[in-house]
Amino acid sequence: MLSALRQGLAVALRKVRGQARLSQKDVELTIRQIRVALLEADVNLKVVRALTQRLSKQLLGAEVGGALTPAQEVTRLVYQEIVRLLGGSEHTAEGPPAECHPASIMLVGLQGSGKTTTAGKLAVRFKAQGLRPLLVALDLSRPAAVEQLGILAAEVGVEAFAESHTSPIELARAASAHSQKQGFSPVIFDTAGRLHIDDGLMAELANIKQAVSPPEIFLVADAMSGQEAVNIAEAFERRLGITGVILTKFDGDARGGAALSIRETVGRSIRYVGVGEKLDALEPFYPERWAQRILGMGDVLTLIEKAEAAFTEEEAKELERRVRKEKFTLSEFLQVLQQSKKLGSLGQVARLLPGVRLSEEQLEAGQKELRKVEAIVRSMTTQERRDPRVLNASRRRRISAGSGTTVQDINQFIKQFRQMQQAMEQLKRGKLPLASLFKNRGL
């Protein structure tokens, strides 16, 4: 995600690396390259012009003081501008405004933007926080729309409100009254998808808003639609008044133009981004963290949060105990591999690590190698996992056939695993416990 923008800015900032002082010509060249990177990322032209003008004023004739090099100063200023574009101080360390648990949320947007799936993803988040979300399908015209949301609610483990009503407005009122009686919160209204130029349907949305007065109205937009997502947001803000934006398919958005343009052009912040098809693949949007990712600085806090969600502190302590007091075998290795998969793909994890710059080809090759290694270990017997020294030629041929790999692949993996065992022996003699990751979050 945002790979094109990240690569474009990296090229622009690389030009000033190693220079002791920036001349006017250096500044102009850097600004020009940043402008090109932003335009190629489909960032709104007015936004690009305003950003580069601010950068020019700050850089031209400015003396770099302290311990910062010119390259670091340019990076710092670009980082500040990106944070500003993405929402800046409106988002706090505790979470964006959407995490304040409103009584009701109204999801609006074009048909096919992902509203129904997003409703389910929001329900997953709120349920994990101990709340009782209620899903309400207000799309009475699309065939099976109500049934679809009901199936999704059952999968998530929450309730979907279903009553026979002739209009979405009546249904919304009934669901709101039901939630107050039964103690559901928040109520998530999944409205019908529509064209933003459809006056009749936009008027219906306004009537629903008037009927239930939702504290939050989120526009759900496809991040991959680029500038069109900005145009849609402007139309919905003008006709309805939205409180925030949720960008879906953000994991497939290589350019990032919508993310960098919406806050500046519409005046509404991005609250969440969809980063995958699974129902837990919805992340709160933190401008500072995403600015760090865009500039290749990583996002360690998000990585730690993912690790905490993937396995508990007790599980980490148990794994640490087994590693420290027992021999690190292929059984423990397989457990670590399975737990790490909960954090996401290799590419998703690598992008959260500072200083890691791998191409898509390298990430795909690494992911393929991990799948190969897992197949090899799963093809082994319990005895072979505990003691790879029993792996004679016959056993290796059997594992090769069972895992779809070659004997050479197995030989190479066993060699690498022995090196890993040596590293784990060094860890035993060290003082940094694995479970400390769950305590030291102030990075």
Provide mean pLDDT across the span 263-284: 89
Q: In 87-144, which ranges are continuous DSSP H helix?
A: 115-128
**189: helix, strand or coil:** strand
Q: Is pLDDT of 189 > 90?
A: yes
Neighbours of 169 (CB within 10 A): 17
CA pair distance 28, 281, nearest whole angstrom: 41
Q: How confident is the model at residue 94 (pLDDT cuts 50, 70, 90)?
A: very low
Encode pLDDT of 276-317 as tens digits: 888 988 989 888 888 887 776 655 555 556 665 666 666 666
How confident is the model at residue 236, as a pLDDT? 92
Q: How confident is the model at residue 100 (pLDDT cuts 50, 70, 90)?
A: low
Single-letter amino acid code for the residue at 281:
A
Dihedral sign computed on CA atoms, order 126, 127, 132, 135: positive
302, two tokens:
């998000």
How confident is the model at residue 406, as a pLDDT? 93
419, two tokens:
């090196």
Neighbours of 309 (CB within 10 A): 12
Query: Cβ-count burial of 63 within 10 angstroms (0-12 exposed, 13-18 middle, 19+ buried)?
Result: exposed
pTM: 0.69
Strands 270-274 and 216-222: unpaired
Q: Please enumerate in sequence order all residues whose Cβ is within 8 A of that of 150, keeping only pairs 6 or more positions apart, or say none.
A: 137, 160, 162
Q: Is pLDDT of 211 > 70?
A: yes
Provide mean pLDDT across the span 143-147: 82
Secondary structure (DSSP) of 217-244: EEEEEEGGGTHHHHHHHHHHHHHT--SE
Least confident of 166-175, 353-362, 393-402: 353-362
Provide the strand spans (E) within 57-195.
104-108, 134-137, 159-161, 187-190
How confident is the model at residue 117, as a pLDDT? 93
Provide mean pLDDT across the span 356-376: 74
441, two tokens:
């979050």
C-alpha distance from residue 383 to each of 271, 327, 390, 422, 424 (Å):
50, 14, 8, 20, 20
Provide mean pLDDT across the span 395-401: 94
Provide mean pLDDT across the span 391-418: 91
Domains of the chain (ranges; CATH) run 3-90 (1.20.120.140), 97-287 (3.40.50.300), 304-438 (1.10.260.30)
Q: Please enumerate in sequence order all residues whose Cβ is within 8 A of that of 157, keeping only pairs 6 or more positions apart, or say none.
A: 127
Q: Please enumerate in sequence order all residues whose Cβ is within 8 A of that of 399, keeping only pairs 6 or more positions apart, or say none.
A: 376, 379, 380, 384, 391, 405, 410
Residues forming beta bridges with residue 190, ordered by sequence position:
107, 137
CA 225 to chain CA mean position, Å: 18
Encode pLDDT of 65-88 as tens digits: 555 667 777 888 888 888 888 887
| Mean pLDDT over each residue of the chain, to the nearest integer | 79
Short-list 131, 128, 103, 106, CA closest to 118? 106
Query: Cβ-count burial of 392 within 10 angstroms (0-12 exposed, 13-18 middle, 19+ buried)?
Result: exposed
How confident is the model at residue 395, as a pLDDT? 94
Q: How confident is the model at residue 197 (pLDDT cuts 50, 70, 90)?
A: low
Q: Is pLDDT of 415 > 80?
A: yes
Residue with the two structure tokens 């648990």: 101
How confident is the model at residue 338, as a pLDDT? 73
Q: How confident is the model at residue 349 (pLDDT cuts 50, 70, 90)?
A: low
Provide mean pLDDT across the span 269-279: 90
CA pair distance 300, 198, nearest whole angstrom: 44
Q: Please enumerate in sequence order all residues whose Cβ is within 8 A of that of 222, keeping only pairs 6 or more positions apart, or say none.
A: 110, 112, 113, 114, 229, 247, 248, 249
State the helix-helix crossing angle for 3-14 and 24-40, rounded to 10 degrees: 170
C-alpha distance from residue 171 to each of 39, 126, 142, 219, 287 (Å):
44, 22, 15, 20, 36
CA-only gyration radius of the chain, Å:
26
Q: Which comes out higher in pLDDT, residue 45 or 348?
A: 45
CA pair distance 60, 224, nearest whole angstrom: 35
CA pair distance 40, 255, nearest whole angstrom: 7
How confident is the model at residue 89, as a pLDDT? 55
Q: Is pLDDT of 92 > 60?
A: no
Least confident of 27-41, 230-244, 271-285, 423-437: 423-437
Q: How confident is the model at residue 333 (pLDDT cuts 50, 70, 90)?
A: confident
How confident is the model at residue 320, as a pLDDT? 63
Short-list 287, 379, 294, 375, CA closest to 337? 375
Q: How confident is the model at residue 273 (pLDDT cuts 50, 70, 90)?
A: very high
